[in-house]
Amino acid sequence: MGGATMMLGSKYRGENKVTKTTHFFVSFVCISSFLVYYFLFSPLRAGYYENQFSDGSGQYIQVIDFNKVSDFQLQPIPFSKNISRTDFNQWLKDQERVSFERMFDNICNEESSGKFDNCFPGVVFASPSKSKPDYFYHWIRDGAITINTLINTYSEVDKERTLKTVLNYVNASIDLQHRSNPSGPVDDPLLRNLGEPKYHVDNSPFEQVWGRPQNDGPPLRAIALLNFLNSMNVSSSSDANSDYQWIFDDLITLDLKFVLYNWHVSSFDLWEEVDAYHFFTSMVQLKALVDGRAFILKKLSSGIALTSAEDDLLKDLEAGIDKVESFIKSSSSGFINHEKGYIVETPSNLDQRSGLDIAVIMASTLTHDSEDENDGYFTNYDQFSFLSAAPGPSSSSFTSADKTDTPFLFDIDDPLILNHFNELVEKMAILYPINHNRLGTNMGVAVGRYPEDIYDGIGISEGNPWFISTLTSAELIFKLVHKMHITQEPLIIEPLKNKFWHKIFAFGNLQNTSVMIPYNSLAFNQTLYTIFKYGDSFLSKVNEHVSDQGHMSEQFNRYHGYNQGAENLTWSYGTFANALRWRQIVDNLIHPTNI
């Protein structure tokens, strides 16, 4: 064995001089002995490891059938024995119904406004809880994530209700964009008022001391509403669909400009605790700019001429994307930490924390949320080259057509993301006593925000698992299965670089060896099913701790597992809907019962 290379099924045989009379006899004995050893005793014989494979960057052992392999096996991932509410699949259906009901209960509409403090139709309550803790506010971040969830998961269930909810949210958001608040006046040239994190439910500013600004809210809102416009085909040439173009012009454009003006400004993280630069914030900022550019370019591909304002915005988006992407990837941001082997959420506090944070996983899942395997940077301008010679304002953006499509940064299968996830889960498994019954089982566990957390949902003591963290873990795993399936490429496993795979495989004597599993081989499909079960084991952990009515608070206690903190947290229900959506997608793809 040398490096990542292992010569299999071969022996060096030196040349021995023999007399002519014994040549055939000795040859026969040697060959016969070799064949007996090869087929009866050698653990490396053909049929165990099919052959050695090289893709130009390294050499790998190829595994096609685990039943014929001794050293390299899938880890056993048992299913939870603690499944109540009849059965697991029935619970998924029941929990989906409860989650949608609770999400809609927590979104103000015309009928409920008088009941909930004259709330502004379209605002999203983080929680109905008004004391211990008081979460009865509209957080820009929570609201945007919730609306995006409904667009992705409920539109096919009730398109009319979803449309009405989204349009109410749009109107409420436009109202908020044109209000002064502690983050800035309404006429601020840098639009800093948009960085205000939360409002009263009637849209009036929250003027007490708070962690502000929080610069992830506007880009998350832009991501959600660009997703809505794409779902309505607004960038097509249809006059009927252009009825919603005003949402881009009146609302999304301001959010994109906010990102362009403020991406380089430090802000508080999504947990509202640390004023610094954060991976989550930078990633959603970049995603908003990329999606905004894609929307404009899609209009051009449909033959719709850009206005002068859109052409200027497109140029600014191009420049902004380059700057934000460069920052994320640069050593100055500190997000990429090769020494630790994973992404760091907030590099400035590494002297106090490990850098592990479910926010990193959320950054990856929120920015990679399409079923389209080609959902990356929309920068292939060759298809728009006909516009470069055309008169009008839309021609200047296409004088250089040498860019090509590139994937969006840090997809869910990136080793730096999976390593982060693995490290976080390993620590949480030990940190929370309610996980100790799963130690050594390779099953999913209850996951909190970050290991050093001391917020207990009401005050400061000990941190707990969160439903959104545990459900995001399931979502990541289901998306990994989806990515492996649709790319139709062999699975390359490098155990030294990516510790995540130790949760899935028992490497035996191959700890230092790279392995290649061909796409659609028996071993590949067995691997997909094992990873799928791993995702389900996170859902089964949630099943253990929801209330008898399917209610989910913000947290559940690390010792006894009962709900704790803000009751009926909207984000908890939305994250369940996201995880279930991706479970259903991959379930339909791989049909695990048939594997």
Say yes or no: 276 and 366 in one domain: no
Q: Is residue 543 part of a domain?
A: yes
- How many whole angstroms separate alpha carbon 267 and alpha carbon 85? 43
Helix crossing, 159-177 with 140-153: angle to 10°?
Answer: 160
For residue 117, the tally of other CB atoms under 10 A from its CB is: 14
Q: Cα–chain-centroid distance for residue 322? A: 22
CA-CA distance, 220 to 225, in Å (whole number)? 9
In this structure, the answer to whether residues 328 and 343 fall within a common structural domain is no
**176 and 246 both lie in a single domain:** yes
Q: Is residue 321 part of a domain?
A: yes
Structure tokens at 84: 């109540």
List pLDDT tens digits, range 320-374: 999 999 999 999 999 999 999 999 999 999 999 999 999 999 999 999 999 876 6
- Asked if the model's pLDDT at residue 392 lies above 50, the reply is no
Kindly report the number of other CB atoms within 10 A of residue 37's CB atom: 12
**Is the domain of 288 the same as that of 345?**
no
Which of 285, 305, 333 marks a domain boundary?
Answer: 333
Residue 65: predicted pLDDT: 80
- Same domain flag for 360 and 257: no
Q: Under a CB-based contact definition with an 8 Å cutoff, are residues 66 and 73 in contact?
A: yes
**Domain annotation covers residue 380:** no
Confirm whether 551 is domain-assigned.
Answer: yes
Q: How far apart are CA 214 and CA 194, in angstroms?
A: 9
Considering the domain boundaries, does residue 32 fall inside one? no
Element (DSSP H or E) covering residue 214: none
Distance CA 119, CA 106 (A): 11
The amino acid at 554: E
What pLDDT sits at residue 40?
Answer: 43
CA distance 405 to 159: 32
323 and 341 housed in the same domain? no
DSSP string, 255-270: HHHHHHHHTTS-EE-T
DSSP symbols for 382-441: GGGGGGGGSSSGGGGGGS------BPPSS-TT-HHHHHHHHHHHHHHHHHSGGGGGGTTT
For residues 286 and 351, state if they share a domain.
Answer: no
Please check whether residues 492 and 348 belong to one and the same domain: yes
266 closest CA partner among 279, 278, 250: 278
Structure token pair of residue 160: 């009319």
Of 85-99, 283-297, 379-393, 396-410, minimum mean pLDDT range: 379-393
pLDDT 10s digits, 48-75: 445 565 555 567 788 888 777 667 878 8
Residues 272 and 356 occupy one common structural domain: no
The last residue of one of the domains, among 333, 356, 384, is 333
| Residue after which a domain boundary falls, among 333, 357, 384 | 333
Residue 232's CATH number: 1.50.10.10
Q: Is residue 433 part of a domain?
A: yes
Which of 205, 238, 224, 359 has the alpha carbon at shortest distance from 291?
A: 224
| Together in a domain, 326 and 361 | no
pLDDT per residue as tens digits for the range 460-501: 999 999 999 999 999 999 999 999 999 999 999 988 888 999
437 and 545 part of one domain: yes
| Mean pLDDT confidence for 519-535 | 95
Give the residue numbers spanning the domain of 181. 116-333
pLDDT at residue 68, as a whole number: 75
Look-up of token digits 């997000």: 335
Selecting among 71, 142, 269, 291, the annotated active-site residue is 269
Per-residue pLDDT tens digits for 142-159: 999 999 999 999 998 999
- For residue 337, the tally of other CB atoms under 10 A from its CB is 16
Is residue 190 situated within a structural domain?
yes
The pLDDT assigned to 594 comes to 46
> Based on the domain organization, do 364 and 315 belong to the same domain?
no
Q: How confident is the model at residue 10 (pLDDT cuts 50, 70, 90)?
A: very low
Average pLDDT, the chain: 86
Q: Known catalytic residue: 272?
A: yes
CB atoms within 10 A of CB 383: 11
Phi/psi zone of residue 9: left (φ > 0), alpha (ψ -120 to 50 degrees), beta?
left
Q: Is residue 74 part of a domain?
A: yes
Catalytic residue list contains 269: yes
List Cβ neighbours of 407 (8 Å cut-off, separation of 6 or more). 376, 377
Based on the structure, what is the number of domains in the chain?
2
Q: Is the pLDDT of residue 238 over 60?
A: no
Selected catalytic residue, list 94, 105, 272, 494: 272
